[in-house]
Amino acid sequence: MNIRSCYIHIPFCKRICSYCDFCKLFYDTGYVSFYLEALKSEIEQYYHGEELDTLYIGGGTPSSLSISELEKMFSILSVLKKSSSCEFTIEVNFDSITEEKIDLFKKSGVNRISFGLETTHPWILEKMGRTLDLDYVRHIISYCKSVGITNINVDLMYAFPDETLQEVEEDIRFILSLDVCHVSTYSLILEEHTKLYLTGVKSIPEELDAKMYELICSMLSDFCHYEISNFARDDSFSKHNLCYWQNKEYYGFGLGASGYIGNVRYSNTRSITHYLQKNYRYEEEKLSSCDKMEYEVILNLRTKWGISKTKFYQIYGKRLLDVYDYSELVTLGYLRECDDFIFIPNKFWYLSNEIIVRLLEVCSYE
Protein backbone atom coordinates (compact mmCIF):
# COMPACT_ATOMS: atom_id res chain seq x y z
CA MET A 1 0.00 0.00 0.00
CA ASN A 2 1.22 3.41 -0.83
CA ILE A 3 -1.16 5.84 0.78
CA ARG A 4 0.01 9.41 0.55
CA SER A 5 -3.16 11.36 1.32
CA CYS A 6 -5.56 11.73 4.15
CA TYR A 7 -8.91 13.44 4.61
CA ILE A 8 -10.28 14.41 8.02
CA HIS A 9 -13.94 15.31 8.38
CA ILE A 10 -15.12 17.84 10.97
CA PRO A 11 -18.91 17.77 10.68
CA PHE A 12 -19.81 20.71 12.90
CA CYS A 13 -21.41 23.94 11.60
CA LYS A 14 -22.68 27.06 13.35
CA ARG A 15 -25.47 27.26 10.79
CA ILE A 16 -26.76 24.87 8.18
CA CYS A 17 -26.71 26.15 4.61
CA SER A 18 -29.89 25.54 2.68
CA TYR A 19 -28.20 23.74 -0.24
CA CYS A 20 -25.78 21.56 1.74
CA ASP A 21 -26.11 17.78 1.64
CA PHE A 22 -22.76 17.01 3.19
CA CYS A 23 -22.51 15.29 6.49
CA LYS A 24 -23.02 18.06 9.02
CA LEU A 25 -24.20 18.68 12.56
CA PHE A 26 -25.06 21.76 14.56
CA TYR A 27 -22.04 22.82 16.54
CA ASP A 28 -22.23 21.59 20.14
CA THR A 29 -19.31 21.81 22.53
CA GLY A 30 -20.21 18.59 24.31
CA TYR A 31 -20.34 16.60 21.12
CA VAL A 32 -17.08 18.07 19.80
CA SER A 33 -14.95 16.63 22.56
CA PHE A 34 -16.54 13.20 22.28
CA TYR A 35 -16.21 13.41 18.55
CA LEU A 36 -12.51 14.22 18.68
CA GLU A 37 -12.00 11.27 21.01
CA ALA A 38 -13.71 8.93 18.56
CA LEU A 39 -11.71 10.42 15.69
CA LYS A 40 -8.54 9.76 17.62
CA SER A 41 -9.47 6.10 18.07
CA GLU A 42 -10.38 5.73 14.42
CA ILE A 43 -7.02 7.06 13.32
CA GLU A 44 -5.22 4.82 15.82
CA GLN A 45 -7.15 1.82 14.55
CA TYR A 46 -6.59 2.29 10.83
CA TYR A 47 -3.54 4.50 10.22
CA HIS A 48 -0.44 2.51 9.38
CA GLY A 49 2.16 5.22 9.72
CA GLU A 50 2.57 6.21 6.06
CA GLU A 51 4.19 9.53 5.31
CA LEU A 52 1.57 11.84 3.83
CA ASP A 53 1.96 14.23 0.94
CA THR A 54 -1.45 15.80 1.51
CA LEU A 55 -3.63 16.25 4.55
CA TYR A 56 -7.00 17.90 4.22
CA ILE A 57 -9.37 18.94 6.98
CA GLY A 58 -12.82 19.49 5.58
CA GLY A 59 -16.36 19.74 6.81
CA GLY A 60 -18.81 20.78 7.94
CA THR A 61 -16.97 23.83 9.12
CA PRO A 62 -13.63 23.00 10.76
CA SER A 63 -13.19 26.69 11.64
CA SER A 64 -16.33 26.57 13.77
CA LEU A 65 -14.38 24.77 16.48
CA SER A 66 -13.04 26.86 19.37
CA ILE A 67 -9.35 27.52 19.80
CA SER A 68 -9.02 24.82 22.46
CA GLU A 69 -10.98 22.33 20.39
CA LEU A 70 -8.79 23.12 17.39
CA GLU A 71 -5.68 22.66 19.54
CA LYS A 72 -6.97 19.28 20.63
CA MET A 73 -7.71 18.37 17.01
CA PHE A 74 -4.23 19.32 15.84
CA SER A 75 -2.67 17.33 18.64
CA ILE A 76 -4.67 14.26 17.57
CA LEU A 77 -3.60 14.78 13.96
CA SER A 78 0.04 15.05 14.98
CA VAL A 79 0.29 11.26 14.89
CA LEU A 80 -0.02 11.52 11.12
CA LYS A 81 3.44 11.73 9.55
CA LYS A 82 3.84 14.47 7.01
CA SER A 83 6.45 14.62 4.28
CA SER A 84 8.54 17.78 4.08
CA SER A 85 6.49 19.08 1.14
CA CYS A 86 3.15 17.99 2.58
CA GLU A 87 0.18 20.12 1.53
CA PHE A 88 -1.89 20.68 4.66
CA THR A 89 -5.27 22.26 3.96
CA ILE A 90 -8.07 23.35 6.23
CA GLU A 91 -11.53 24.54 5.17
CA VAL A 92 -12.66 27.81 6.69
CA ASN A 93 -15.79 29.92 6.81
CA PHE A 94 -15.61 33.67 7.15
CA ASP A 95 -18.19 33.85 9.90
CA SER A 96 -16.13 31.71 12.28
CA ILE A 97 -12.56 32.54 11.37
CA THR A 98 -10.38 34.83 13.50
CA GLU A 99 -6.79 36.03 13.35
CA GLU A 100 -6.11 33.92 16.42
CA LYS A 101 -7.31 30.77 14.69
CA ILE A 102 -5.18 31.57 11.66
CA ASP A 103 -2.17 31.95 13.95
CA LEU A 104 -2.96 28.52 15.38
CA PHE A 105 -3.26 27.01 11.88
CA LYS A 106 0.09 28.46 10.97
CA LYS A 107 1.66 27.15 14.15
CA SER A 108 0.15 23.70 13.54
CA GLY A 109 1.65 23.37 10.06
CA VAL A 110 -1.34 24.30 7.91
CA ASN A 111 -0.02 25.74 4.64
CA ARG A 112 -3.19 25.99 2.56
CA ILE A 113 -6.59 27.46 3.41
CA SER A 114 -9.77 26.92 1.49
CA PHE A 115 -12.38 29.62 2.09
CA GLY A 116 -16.08 29.09 1.50
CA LEU A 117 -17.20 32.37 -0.01
CA GLU A 118 -19.97 31.06 -2.31
CA THR A 119 -21.52 34.42 -3.21
CA THR A 120 -21.18 38.13 -2.51
CA HIS A 121 -24.86 38.98 -3.00
CA PRO A 122 -26.88 39.60 0.16
CA TRP A 123 -30.15 38.23 -1.27
CA ILE A 124 -28.49 34.97 -2.25
CA LEU A 125 -26.64 34.73 1.07
CA GLU A 126 -29.95 35.07 2.79
CA LYS A 127 -31.50 32.27 0.75
CA MET A 128 -28.44 30.15 1.41
CA GLY A 129 -28.73 30.80 5.13
CA ARG A 130 -25.28 32.37 5.27
CA THR A 131 -23.78 35.70 6.30
CA LEU A 132 -20.79 37.53 4.93
CA ASP A 133 -18.97 40.81 5.48
CA LEU A 134 -16.94 41.60 2.38
CA ASP A 135 -14.56 43.91 4.22
CA TYR A 136 -13.82 41.15 6.69
CA VAL A 137 -13.18 38.80 3.79
CA ARG A 138 -10.55 41.18 2.42
CA HIS A 139 -9.04 41.60 5.86
CA ILE A 140 -8.79 37.90 6.69
CA ILE A 141 -7.30 36.99 3.35
CA SER A 142 -4.63 39.61 3.62
CA TYR A 143 -3.97 38.48 7.19
CA CYS A 144 -3.41 34.92 5.95
CA LYS A 145 -0.95 36.20 3.42
CA SER A 146 0.76 38.31 6.07
CA VAL A 147 1.44 35.27 8.27
CA GLY A 148 2.78 33.40 5.27
CA ILE A 149 -0.19 31.26 4.24
CA THR A 150 -0.36 32.25 0.59
CA ASN A 151 -1.78 29.06 -0.85
CA ILE A 152 -5.41 30.15 -0.68
CA ASN A 153 -8.52 28.82 -2.37
CA VAL A 154 -11.88 30.53 -2.60
CA ASP A 155 -15.04 28.56 -3.32
CA LEU A 156 -17.74 30.14 -5.44
CA MET A 157 -21.19 28.84 -6.13
CA TYR A 158 -23.20 29.93 -9.17
CA ALA A 159 -26.47 29.10 -10.91
CA PHE A 160 -28.47 29.82 -7.79
CA PRO A 161 -32.20 30.08 -8.62
CA ASP A 162 -32.89 33.55 -10.09
CA GLU A 163 -29.23 34.51 -10.17
CA THR A 164 -28.20 36.55 -13.20
CA LEU A 165 -25.12 36.49 -15.39
CA GLN A 166 -24.33 39.98 -14.14
CA GLU A 167 -24.27 38.79 -10.53
CA VAL A 168 -21.87 35.97 -11.37
CA GLU A 169 -19.63 38.50 -13.08
CA GLU A 170 -19.60 40.67 -9.94
CA ASP A 171 -18.70 37.67 -7.79
CA ILE A 172 -15.76 36.76 -10.00
CA ARG A 173 -14.58 40.34 -10.09
CA PHE A 174 -14.58 40.37 -6.29
CA ILE A 175 -12.63 37.13 -6.13
CA LEU A 176 -10.09 38.45 -8.61
CA SER A 177 -9.64 41.51 -6.38
CA LEU A 178 -8.62 39.21 -3.51
CA ASP A 179 -5.63 38.02 -5.52
CA VAL A 180 -5.71 34.39 -4.46
CA CYS A 181 -4.02 31.57 -6.29
CA HIS A 182 -6.85 29.08 -6.49
CA VAL A 183 -10.58 29.26 -7.28
CA SER A 184 -13.18 26.50 -7.21
CA THR A 185 -16.56 27.20 -8.78
CA TYR A 186 -19.64 25.04 -8.64
CA SER A 187 -22.92 25.17 -10.38
CA LEU A 188 -25.52 24.64 -7.66
CA ILE A 189 -26.88 21.13 -7.50
CA LEU A 190 -30.31 20.91 -5.95
CA GLU A 191 -29.78 17.81 -3.86
CA GLU A 192 -32.70 15.95 -2.41
CA HIS A 193 -33.08 16.28 1.36
CA THR A 194 -31.73 19.83 1.39
CA LYS A 195 -33.77 22.74 2.64
CA LEU A 196 -33.51 24.42 -0.73
CA TYR A 197 -34.80 21.38 -2.61
CA LEU A 198 -37.67 21.00 -0.19
CA THR A 199 -38.83 24.57 -0.78
CA GLY A 200 -39.42 23.52 -4.35
CA VAL A 201 -37.13 25.93 -6.18
CA LYS A 202 -36.23 25.11 -9.76
CA SER A 203 -32.81 24.94 -11.36
CA ILE A 204 -31.94 27.71 -13.77
CA PRO A 205 -32.16 26.85 -17.49
CA GLU A 206 -29.19 24.86 -18.72
CA GLU A 207 -28.41 27.51 -21.34
CA LEU A 208 -27.91 30.16 -18.66
CA ASP A 209 -25.95 27.75 -16.50
CA ALA A 210 -23.63 27.02 -19.42
CA LYS A 211 -23.26 30.73 -20.13
CA MET A 212 -22.26 31.36 -16.54
CA TYR A 213 -19.65 28.66 -16.81
CA GLU A 214 -18.30 30.19 -20.01
CA LEU A 215 -18.18 33.60 -18.37
CA ILE A 216 -16.29 32.26 -15.36
CA CYS A 217 -13.81 30.46 -17.60
CA SER A 218 -13.15 33.55 -19.64
CA MET A 219 -12.79 35.82 -16.59
CA LEU A 220 -10.35 33.39 -15.01
CA SER A 221 -8.31 33.03 -18.18
CA ASP A 222 -5.12 34.03 -16.33
CA PHE A 223 -5.57 30.91 -14.23
CA CYS A 224 -4.84 27.39 -15.29
CA HIS A 225 -8.21 25.67 -15.74
CA TYR A 226 -6.93 22.28 -14.68
CA GLU A 227 -10.13 20.54 -13.63
CA ILE A 228 -13.77 20.99 -14.64
CA SER A 229 -14.47 23.27 -11.65
CA ASN A 230 -10.99 24.27 -10.54
CA PHE A 231 -8.63 27.07 -11.50
CA ALA A 232 -5.08 27.63 -10.26
CA ARG A 233 -2.49 30.33 -10.74
CA ASP A 234 0.92 29.07 -11.75
CA ASP A 235 1.26 25.56 -10.38
CA SER A 236 -0.73 25.96 -7.21
CA PHE A 237 -3.03 23.05 -7.99
CA SER A 238 -4.75 21.38 -5.08
CA LYS A 239 -2.46 18.41 -4.56
CA HIS A 240 -5.01 16.76 -2.32
CA ASN A 241 -7.82 16.97 -4.82
CA LEU A 242 -5.51 15.80 -7.60
CA CYS A 243 -5.06 12.64 -5.57
CA TYR A 244 -8.79 11.98 -6.04
CA TRP A 245 -8.79 12.78 -9.72
CA GLN A 246 -5.70 10.70 -10.34
CA ASN A 247 -7.50 7.77 -8.71
CA LYS A 248 -4.90 7.43 -5.96
CA GLU A 249 -5.52 5.88 -2.58
CA TYR A 250 -6.28 7.96 0.50
CA TYR A 251 -7.42 7.65 4.06
CA GLY A 252 -10.72 9.16 5.07
CA PHE A 253 -11.33 9.66 8.78
CA GLY A 254 -14.30 11.14 10.56
CA LEU A 255 -18.06 11.07 10.38
CA GLY A 256 -19.30 10.31 6.86
CA ALA A 257 -15.76 10.39 5.44
CA SER A 258 -14.76 8.21 2.50
CA GLY A 259 -11.48 6.55 1.74
CA TYR A 260 -9.86 4.36 -0.85
CA ILE A 261 -7.45 1.75 0.37
CA GLY A 262 -6.24 -1.29 -1.53
CA ASN A 263 -9.16 -2.65 -3.53
CA VAL A 264 -11.77 -1.04 -1.36
CA ARG A 265 -13.61 2.24 -1.45
CA TYR A 266 -15.30 2.74 1.88
CA SER A 267 -17.63 5.24 3.50
CA ASN A 268 -17.98 5.92 7.16
CA THR A 269 -21.26 6.08 8.97
CA ARG A 270 -23.16 9.35 8.88
CA SER A 271 -24.75 8.57 12.24
CA ILE A 272 -23.05 10.44 15.08
CA THR A 273 -24.32 7.88 17.59
CA HIS A 274 -22.74 5.00 15.68
CA TYR A 275 -19.59 6.98 15.20
CA LEU A 276 -19.22 7.77 18.87
CA GLN A 277 -19.74 4.06 19.57
CA LYS A 278 -16.78 3.54 17.27
CA ASN A 279 -18.80 1.80 14.59
CA TYR A 280 -16.95 3.70 11.90
CA ARG A 281 -17.35 1.88 8.62
CA TYR A 282 -20.77 2.02 6.96
CA GLU A 283 -20.20 0.46 3.57
CA GLU A 284 -17.40 -0.90 1.48
CA GLU A 285 -17.21 -1.30 -2.25
CA LYS A 286 -14.79 -3.99 -3.29
CA LEU A 287 -13.36 -3.04 -6.64
CA SER A 288 -12.80 -5.39 -9.56
CA SER A 289 -10.20 -4.52 -12.19
CA CYS A 290 -13.06 -3.34 -14.34
CA ASP A 291 -14.34 -1.01 -11.59
CA LYS A 292 -10.85 0.37 -11.08
CA MET A 293 -10.47 1.09 -14.74
CA GLU A 294 -13.83 2.82 -14.78
CA TYR A 295 -12.81 5.03 -11.88
CA GLU A 296 -9.55 5.75 -13.65
CA VAL A 297 -11.43 6.97 -16.71
CA ILE A 298 -14.18 8.85 -14.87
CA LEU A 299 -11.75 10.68 -12.59
CA ASN A 300 -8.81 11.28 -14.93
CA LEU A 301 -11.02 12.79 -17.60
CA ARG A 302 -12.03 15.57 -15.19
CA THR A 303 -8.59 17.09 -15.54
CA LYS A 304 -6.94 18.90 -18.40
CA TRP A 305 -4.29 16.18 -18.61
CA GLY A 306 -6.76 13.35 -18.99
CA ILE A 307 -5.63 9.71 -18.97
CA SER A 308 -2.04 8.71 -19.41
CA LYS A 309 -1.87 5.68 -21.68
CA THR A 310 1.49 4.65 -20.20
CA LYS A 311 0.26 4.92 -16.64
CA PHE A 312 -2.90 3.01 -17.55
CA TYR A 313 -0.82 0.21 -19.02
CA GLN A 314 1.49 0.16 -16.01
CA ILE A 315 -1.39 -0.18 -13.56
CA TYR A 316 -3.74 -2.50 -15.43
CA GLY A 317 -1.44 -4.35 -17.81
CA LYS A 318 -3.70 -3.52 -20.75
CA ARG A 319 -3.66 -0.89 -23.43
CA LEU A 320 -6.27 1.78 -22.89
CA LEU A 321 -7.40 1.46 -26.50
CA ASP A 322 -7.95 -2.27 -26.07
CA VAL A 323 -10.23 -1.72 -23.10
CA TYR A 324 -11.99 1.45 -24.18
CA ASP A 325 -11.98 1.97 -27.91
CA TYR A 326 -11.84 5.73 -27.93
CA SER A 327 -11.07 6.08 -31.64
CA GLU A 328 -14.57 7.12 -32.70
CA LEU A 329 -14.78 9.71 -29.94
CA VAL A 330 -11.42 11.08 -31.08
CA THR A 331 -12.70 11.25 -34.66
CA LEU A 332 -15.78 13.12 -33.50
CA GLY A 333 -13.56 15.53 -31.58
CA TYR A 334 -15.06 14.72 -28.19
CA LEU A 335 -11.74 13.32 -27.04
CA ARG A 336 -8.32 14.51 -28.04
CA GLU A 337 -5.18 12.42 -28.24
CA CYS A 338 -1.91 14.16 -27.57
CA ASP A 339 1.26 12.13 -27.16
CA ASP A 340 0.68 9.90 -24.16
CA PHE A 341 -2.63 11.44 -23.14
CA ILE A 342 -6.31 11.17 -23.93
CA PHE A 343 -8.37 14.08 -22.67
CA ILE A 344 -11.64 15.93 -23.13
CA PRO A 345 -11.09 19.30 -24.83
CA ASN A 346 -12.08 22.28 -22.69
CA LYS A 347 -15.06 23.17 -24.81
CA PHE A 348 -16.71 19.83 -24.05
CA TRP A 349 -16.02 19.79 -20.33
CA TYR A 350 -19.54 20.85 -19.53
CA LEU A 351 -20.76 17.79 -21.46
CA SER A 352 -18.21 15.45 -19.99
CA ASN A 353 -20.79 12.99 -18.66
CA GLU A 354 -22.01 12.34 -22.18
CA ILE A 355 -18.48 11.64 -23.35
CA ILE A 356 -17.48 9.53 -20.36
CA VAL A 357 -20.64 7.47 -20.64
CA ARG A 358 -19.96 6.79 -24.30
CA LEU A 359 -16.44 5.72 -23.47
CA LEU A 360 -17.65 3.42 -20.70
CA GLU A 361 -20.19 2.00 -23.12
CA VAL A 362 -17.54 0.75 -25.53
CA CYS A 363 -15.68 -1.10 -22.77
CA SER A 364 -14.55 -4.46 -24.14
CA TYR A 365 -13.08 -5.80 -20.92
CA GLU A 366 -14.24 -9.36 -20.09
Partner 1 sequence: MKQENIRNFCIIAHIDHGKSTLADRILEQTGAIEKRELKSQMLDSMDIERERGITIKLNAVQLTYQYQREEYYFHLIDTPGHVDFSYEVSRSLAACEGALLVVDATQGVEAQTLANLYLALDNNLTVVPVVNKIDLPSADLPKVEEELENIGFSRDEIIFTSAKTGEGVSSLLRAIIERIPSPKGNLSAPLQALIFDSLFDAYRGVIISIRVMNGEVRVGDVIRMMETGATYEVVGLSINTPKEKSISILKAGEVGYLYASIKSIQDVLVGDTITLDMNPASYPLPGYKPMKPMVYCGFYPIDANKFEDLREALEKLKLNDASLVFEPETSKALGFGFRCGFLGLLHMEIIEERIEREFGIDLIATSPSVVYEVILTDGSKIMVDSPVKMPKRELVSKTLEPYVKTSIFSPSDYIGSIMELCQDKRGTFINMEYLDQKRVMIHYELPLSEIVYDFFDKLKSYTKGYASFDYEVIGYRESNLVKMDILLNGEVVDALSVIVHKDFAYNRGKVVVEKLKEIIPRQMFEVPIQAAIGTHVIARTDIKALRKNVLAKCYGGDVTRKKKLLEKQKEGKKRMKKIGSVEVPQEAFLSILATKE
Q: Which is nearer to partner 1, 167 or 249 (CB)?
A: 249
Residue 357 CB, shortest distance to partner 1, in Å, is: 5
Please count the helices (runs of H) and the strands (runs of E) in the chain. 15, 17
Contacts of 210 (CB under 8 A, 6+ apart): 350
Quick one: DSSP state of residue 110? -
Report d(CA 305, CA 323) in Å as an integer. 19
Q: Which is nearer to partner 1, 237 or 260 (CB)?
A: 260
324 within 8 A of 306, measured Cβ to Cβ: no
Q: Which is nearer to partner 1, 102 or 326 (CB)?
A: 326
For residue 116, what is the enclosing H or E element? strand 112-118
Residues of the shown chain interacting with partner 1 in the complex, contacts defined by CB under 8 A: 7, 22-23, 186-187, 189, 206-207, 209-210, 213, 228-229, 241, 244-245, 250, 252, 256-260, 265, 267, 285, 294-295, 298-299, 302, 334, 348-354, 356-358, 360-361
Q: Which is nearer to partner 1, 62 or 259 (CB)?
A: 259
Report d(CA 185, CA 155) in Å as an integer. 6
Q: Which is nearer to partner 1, 222 or 361 (CB)?
A: 361
Q: Which is nearer to partner 1, 102 or 334 (CB)?
A: 334
Report d(CA 168, CA 213) in Å as an integer. 9
Report d(CA 138, CA 344) in Å as an integer. 36
Report d(CA 179, CA 82) in Å as an integer. 28
Residue 89 CB, shortest distance to partner 1, in Å, is: 12
Residue 121 CB, shortest distance to partner 1, in Å, is: 19
341 within 8 A of 301, measured Cβ to Cβ: no
Q: Which is nearer to partner 1, 102 or 220 (CB)?
A: 220
Report d(CA 301, CA 315) in Å as an integer. 17
179 within 8 A of 135, measured Cβ to Cβ: no
Q: Which is nearer to partner 1, 51 or 206 (CB)?
A: 206
146 within 8 A of 174, measured Cβ to Cβ: no
Residue 258 CB, shortest distance to partner 1, in Å, is: 4
Report d(CA 303, CA 283) in Å as an integer. 28
Residue 24 CB, shortest distance to partner 1, in Å, is: 12
Q: Which is nearer to partner 1, 289 or 352 (CB)?
A: 352
Residue 312 CB, shortest distance to partner 1, in Å, is: 17
For residue 215, what is the enclosing H or E element? helix 206-219
Dihedral sign computed on CA atoms, order 258, 259, 264, 268 = negative
Residue 193 CB, shortest distance to partner 1, in Å, is: 13
Q: Which of 366, 361, 358, 263 is nearest to 318 (CA)?
A: 366
Report d(CA 198, CA 18) in Å as an integer. 9
Residue 168 CB, shortest distance to partner 1, in Å, is: 14
Residue 22 CB, shortest distance to partner 1, in Å, is: 8
Strands 5-10 and 51-59: parallel
Contacts of 308 (CB under 8 A, 6+ apart): 300, 340, 341
Residue 180 CB, shortest distance to partner 1, in Å, is: 19
Q: Which is nearer to partner 1, 62 or 252 (CB)?
A: 252
